[in-house]
A and B are shown apart, each in its own frame.
Chain A
Amino acid sequence: MGLRWQPNVGRFDQILRLGIGIAMVWVGFIDSEIIGDSLMANLLGLFGLFNLVAAVLRVCPFYTLADINTNNQDD
C-alpha cells in the first residue's frame, strides 16, 4: 500500500481537528499548569500538534494507511 499524499481530511473533520488541536496545544504547551504534569502536558501538546498539522494540510497519515477518506463524504 503506497502512501498517497492526497487530501483525505474532510471539512468537518478539519474543523474538529483544528478545535481539538488548538485546545490540546494550549493545555499542553502554553498553559500547562492545568495538567500539572510535564510529561502528560507534552504528550497532549504533541497530540494536539499532530492534529493541527493534519488539519492544516488536510492529510492524515493514519487515514492514508487505513484507506479512510472523509474528504469525499463531505464534498
Chain B
Amino acid sequence: MPTRTRLLVSFVAIALLVLTVFGIMAYRIANESALLREAMAMQATVDEIAGQMTSALQVLPPALDTLRGLRLPYLQHARLFLVHTADGKSVPLGGLERDQFPDKGKLLAQLANTAQPASGQLLYRNLQYTWASVFIPGTDLRLTVVHPSIDVEFATLRSLGMRMLITAGIVIWIAVWGALIITALLTKHLNKQNARLVHQALHDDLTDLPNRNLLYDRIEQALHRCHREGQSLALFIMDLDRFKEVNDTLGHHFGDHVLQQVGKRISATLRETDTVARLGGDEFAVLIPDAHMQDAQSCAEKLLATLDVAIPINGMSLSVKTSIGIALYPQHGGDAESLLQHADVAMYQAKRSGSGFNIYAQDQDPHSLRRLTLIGELREAIAAGQLELHYQPKVNLKQQRTHDVEALVRWQHPTLGLILPEEFVPLAEQNGLIAGLTDWVLHTAVKQCCDWRARGICLRVAVNLSAHSLHDLNLPDYIAAILKAADLPASQITIELTESAMMSDLARAMDIFERLAAMGIRLSIDDFGTGLSSLSYLKRLPVNELKIDKSFVIDMAEDENNAVIVRSIIDLAHNIGREVVAEGVQDRDALQLVEMLGADTAQGYYISRPRSAADLETWLHDSEWGLRVQGPRGDTLHLV
C-alpha cells in the first residue's frame, strides 16, 4: 500500500476512533443528565402532591384509606404509588401496576429511608422507571411514586446524533486533508533528501565534481551518442605530480585546498558540455564529447597552461605540475573501462617522460591485449611444451672451435607464431612465472647437454638467469640437484647474468655467484658495459668471462669510440684474469677486428644464429668453426 493511502486510512481510522469514544462519552453524559433532570422534576411534582395530601388528611380522619381514596390526577397516571409508615411498612395505595411491584416496594422503602427527599431510577423487567420519595408534611408518612421514565435515549440520540454526524463529517474531512498534506510534505522532504543523497553518491565531497561512478555513466552515455551519430570523444586522466609532497609538507588541509583550486580551474577552462570528475586522491578525469585528436591536444595544452599558474596559499604560491593522459574514442577503446585504462596508461607515460600530456599508444601499454594474452598463456605454454631452447655457438678464436653454446629460449605460440624472450621474459618476471621458466630452461639445457655428451659432442651450455632468480637463495642448491640428477659435471654448465641484473642486487649476486663458483660452474656477465659495474666488485666476483654488449661490437667498424671501449674492456678483463666474449659479431670485419683486439670468444649472426639442437648438430658438422679436429693428412675428423 503506498504511503499516501496508508496515511489516509490511518488518519481516518484515528478520527473515527476518537469520534466514537467521544460520541459514546457525550451520549452517556447527556443521558445521565437527562435522567437526573427527570428525577428532580418528578421529586418536585411528588412534593407538591404530598402537600395536597396533607390538606386532605387535615380534613378527613387521618388514615391510609383516606389517602387511598384520594383521586389526584398525577397519581392516576402513576404506575405505582405507595406510602411508607414510620414502622417501616410499605403500603401500596394505587397505580396501574400496583400488583406487579411486590418486591420493589421494599426496595423503594430502603432507598427512601437513606436520604430524604430522594429520587432516582430503577430497572424493572427491562423497563426503566423513575421514582421520587418525599415526606408528607405534618405526618410521619412518606410518599413514593414510581413512573416510567420518559424515553431519554431517543431524545438524547436525536439531539446528539445530528451534531455528531456533522462533527464526524468535518473531522474526517480534515483528517483526509491532513493526511494528504502530510504525505505531500513528506514526499517533498524525502525527494529533497533523496536528491541530496544522489548528489552525494555521484559527486566528490571535496571538490563537488562528479565522481568515478558518474563519470562512468557520462562516458557510457557519450559513447551511446557517439555510436549513434558517429562522433568521437576524448577522455583525459590528469594527475598532479608529486602531490603527496604537498600533503606531507604542508598538511592535508592545504592539499585539499590545492585540489579544490585545481578542480575549479579545470572546470573553468572547459566547456559546459565537458565533464570534469575527480577520481580520488590527486587524480582528475575530463570527458570531452565530440573531440578529435587536435581538439584533445589543444585542450590538454590549454589545461596545462591554466594549471601551470601557481596557486596562492597562505601568502605563498604553490606550483603544481600536471600530467595528462589522453584516450580517444574510437581509436583507443570502445567502452568506458578500456578508455579509462588507456588514458591511465598514457598518463603514466606522460608522468615518466615529463612531457605534460601524452596520447595513448598501444606499444607503450604494459597491459595491451597481446601482453595480457601472453601472460595468461605463458603458464600453460611451459607445461604444453610450446617453449623450446635454441643454441647459439660461441667460437673460441684461438682454436677456431666451438666449445660453448648459449641456450636461448623461444616460444612457439600456436597462433601468434614465434615469440622472442625479449617479449615474454619480462612478462614472466612481472607475473611470478620466472621461477617456472628458469626451472624449465635449466632442466632442458642440462638434459640436452647430457644427450650431446652421450653422443660424444662435448659442448658447454650457457644458461641465462633473470634478475628475479637472484631472489631465490636456494638457486645454487637447486642447480646442484639438477646436475646431480643428470650426472653432469658442473663445469659443463655456464650461468650468464646480465650486468644490470647483477648490479640491481650486488650483495645477493655475490653470494649466489660464490656458491655457484664453489660448485665449479662457469660464470659469465652478460651485456657487459651497459650496467655501470663497480670495478672493485668486478675484481672480487668469481666470474670466468665478460660478454661485451653487442651494441659496442656492432658499430665498432664505424665508430672508433666503440672500438676503443671494446679494446679497453678486453684489456681490463685480461688484466684481472677474465676471458672476453664479443657478442653481436655480424660480419667478417667485426670478427677480424675482435680477434685482433684479443677477444677470446666470438658470438653472433656472422658465425651462426641460434639454432635448434638438431640444426646445431648439422652446423657443427659443416661449419669451419665446428667440432672438428685436423687430421694428420689435412682431412677433417669429425667428433660427431
Contacts and interface: CB of A to CB of B under 8 A. Distances in A.
8 contacts: A36-B162, A36-B163, A44-B169, A47-B170, A47-B173, A66-B180, A66-B183, A66-B184
A43 B169 CA distance: 11
Given A47-B173, A67-B188, A62 B166 contact: no
Interface in B129-187: 159, 162-163, 166-167, 169-170, 173, 177, 180-181, 183-185, 187
A1 B166 CA distance: 33
Contacts of B166: 35, 40, 43-44
A68 B184 contact: yes
Contacts of B169: 44
Nearest to B185: A66
A53 interface: no
Contacts of A44: 166, 169-170
A16 interface: no
A7 B272 CA distance: 37
A15 interface: no
A67 B169 CA distance: 24
B180 A40 contact: no
A65 interface: yes
**Most chain B beta-carbon neighbours within 10 Å: one of A35, A36, A67:** A67
A37 interface: yes
A40 B167 CA distance: 8
Nearest to B174: A47
B188 A37 contact: no
A65 B177 CA distance: 11
B159 A36 contact: yes
A8 to B, nearest CB: 12
Given A47-B170, A66-B181, A35 B163 contact: yes
Nearest to A67: B184
Given A44-B170, A47-B170, A47-B173, A37 B181 contact: no
Contacts of A62: 177, 180-181
B491 to A, nearest CB: 94
Given A36-B159, A66-B183, A67-B184, 10 more contacts: A35-B163, A36-B162, A36-B163, A40-B162, A40-B167, A43-B166, A62-B177, A66-B181, A66-B184, A67-B187
A65 B184 CA distance: 9
A67 B163 CA distance: 33
Given A43-B170, A44-B170, A47-B173, A35 B181 contact: no
A18 to B, nearest CB: 16
Contacts of A66: 180-181, 183-185
B180 A68 contact: yes
A44 B168 CA distance: 11
A21 B490 CA distance: 113
A38 to B, nearest CB: 11
**Most chain A beta-carbon neighbours within 10 Å: one of B159, B184, B187:** B184
B155 to A, nearest CB: 12
Given A1-B188, A47-B170, A68-B184, A37 B177 contact: no
B221 to A, nearest CB: 30
Contacts of A43: 166, 170
Give 8 closest A-B pairs by Cβ, nearest first.
A66-B184, A66-B181, A67-B184, A40-B163, A40-B166, A37-B163, A44-B166, A62-B177
A68 B170 CA distance: 20
Contacts of B167: 40
A32 B336 CA distance: 75
Contacts of A35: 162-163, 166
Contacts of A65: 181, 184
A37 B314 CA distance: 78
A66 B8 CA distance: 14
B23 to A, nearest CB: 14
A37 B26 CA distance: 15
Contacts of B181: 62, 65-66
Contacts of A1: 188
A47 B181 CA distance: 18
Contacts of A40: 162-163, 166-167
B530 to A, nearest CB: 76
A34 B173 CA distance: 20
Interface in B278-302: none
B344 to A, nearest CB: 46
B48 to A, nearest CB: 32
A44 B167 CA distance: 9
Interface in A10-60: 34-37, 40, 43-44, 47
Nearest to A43: B170
A13 B187 CA distance: 22
